[in-house]
Amino acid sequence: MDYELLIQSISNRVPINDNEKKLITALLKTRKLKKKNFLHQEGDIQQHVAFVKSGCLRSYSIDKNGTEHILQFAPAGWWIADMQSFLNVTPSGISIDAIEDSEAFLLNHTDVEQMYIAVPKMERYFRILAERSLATFQQRLIDALSLTAAERYTNFCKRYPTLIQTLPQKYIASYIGITPEFMSKMLSQPMKKG
């Protein structure tokens, strides 16, 4: 099994030795998902956190009007989960599915706790990820409250340059909080500079 991307993600934040790498990778389960297959569905209790080895996953909710709201994209090298459901062992308000054929490494509650005991520096790794995730979501909320749709789109392009080339426009529209029709209209008009 090729764990290189995960080991690189960990090593970029905390140093780990070969023995620690073996302890971590021994806890992982692998899951392959075809495009549009679910890793997790709304209403279920989130059983795992997932590290995307290849492909791309997304988390989203659907409101009472049937409108989809994308919360996160997770391309290769990213973690994804409904942390509220995972930590509180409560039914989830979101679904996670594959945007394209994907493969992920999974850790359940027991695996995570075993990993923290076997490799204590992994708590620091996940703390760093949690802090960055919180900062990103905070900035996204500020952007949603204070920026125009065009500014939110520009920020998305800057933050996720590789995703802008591969994601369907309707997914990007959902992520930045506009309809696909509005996005098409917006993109057909010249963007203002500055």
8 CB neighbour count, 10 Å cutoff: 10
Q: What was the pLDDT predicted at 102?
A: 98
pTM score, whole prediction: 0.92
Structure-derived torsion over alpha carbons of residues 45, 41, 70, 166, reported in degrees to the nearest 10: 130
Q: Give the pair of three-digit tokens for residue 94.
A: 């979101």
Q: Give the pair of three-digit tokens for residue 164.
A: 């802008």
Measured CA to CA, the distance from residue 34 to residue 55 in angstroms comes to 10
Q: Which helix (H) or strand (E) holds 43?
A: none
Q: Categorize the per-residue pLDDT at 194 as very low, low, confident or very high, splitting at 50, 70 and 90.
A: very low
Q: Give the pair of three-digit tokens for residue 45.
A: 């209790």
Q: Which helix (H) or strand (E) holds 16?
A: none
Measured CA to CA, the distance from residue 25 to residue 23 in angstroms comes to 6
Contact yes or no for 53/1 (Cβ under 8 A)? no
Q: What was the pLDDT predicted at 159?
A: 87
Summarised one tens digit per residue, pLDDT across range 76-123 is 999 999 999 999 999 999 999 999 999 999 999 999 999 999 999 999
Residues in the chain: 194
Task: Sheet with 102-108: list strands edge to edge.
Answer: 29-33, 102-108, 48-54, 79-80
Contact yes or no for 135/127 (Cβ under 8 A)? no
Give the residue from 141, 147, 161, 170 showing the smallest Cα distance to 70. 170
User: Per CATH, which fold does 4-121 belong to?
Assistant: Jelly Rolls (2.60.120)
Summarised one tens digit per residue, pLDDT across range 132-142 is 999 999 999 99
Summarised one tens digit per residue, pLDDT across range 29-72 is 999 999 999 999 999 999 999 999 999 999 999 999 999 999 99
